[in-house]
Amino acid sequence: MIVRIFLVGIGNPDRTYRFTRHNIGQLFVDFVAEALDVSFQPGKGEYVYARKGDLFLFKSLTYMNLSGLAVKSIVDDFGVEISQELFVCHDDLDMEPFNVKVKYDGGSGGHRGIESCIYHLETLDFYRLKFGIGKPKGMDPKDYVLSQLSDDELNKFEDSFKIALEGIQVMLNEGREKGITFINTYGRRMNDG
């Protein structure tokens, strides 16, 4: 059975938001594109995309709260089997910083981008590739998610990105479940050392 993976990084398109916590999903997709030496090109809808074999990379061009419009367009344009092939990459306030995990279905956890995806896809049944950003201390969460990442934080996220990419490669070569297990096993240990 051929495994196709559609990674969609959601975030805010304005360059001033590029290195913010809320854009960590798009930063991950950029990391994967660079690691695989592929370039993005315009899509038919509000997204850009790149491809390497059975791995498809996307970045939404909508603002976070409207991410579902771009994701729905991707699903329609590429015939994505939502429950099996779609992985929406995003930040998560409830996870420890730099941890990464894959979650299937469930609610939005208060994440507006995921709320939009659920609304436009009309289902909860898709994978989320979540990168922990932690809860803010003494800062409004809305301001926190839009705050810039430091160079040190970007370096630590790069380690998280390497784990996630390795897990995706396991998915493509050995099957989806093995890759998810890899990410969920090694991705939660990012704070241990």
Coil, strand, or helix at residue 59? Answer: strand
Which of 26, 17, 58 shows the shortest CA–CA distance to 149? Answer: 17
Return the CATH number at 183: 3.40.50.1470
Q: How far apart are CA 135 and CA 139, in angstroms?
A: 9
User: Any idea what DSSP says for residue 167?
Assistant: H
Q: Which two tokens stand for residue 120?
A: 């436009």
Query: Residue 182: is it exposed, middle or buried by C-beta count within 10 angstroms (0-12/13-18/19+)?
Result: buried
Model confidence over 60-74: pLDDT tens digits? 999 999 999 999 999
Task: State yes or no: is 22 an active-site residue.
Answer: yes
pLDDT value of residue 191:
57
Global model pTM greater than 0.85: yes
- What is the rounded distance in angstroms from the CA atom of residue 171 to the CA atom of residue 26? 20
Q: Quick one: pLDDT at residue 193?
A: 45
CB 128 within 8 A of CB 184: no
pLDDT in tens, 127-145: 999 999 999 988 999 999 9
Residue 2 has pLDDT above 80, yes or no: no
**Total structural domains within the chain:** 1
Residue 120 confidence (pLDDT): 99
**For 107-134, how does the pLDDT look when each residue is reduced to its tens digit (9 = 90+)?**
999 999 999 999 999 999 999 999 999 9
Q: Which of 22, 90, 111, 120 is catalytic?
A: 22
**What residue numbers bound the domain in which 10 lies?**
5-189
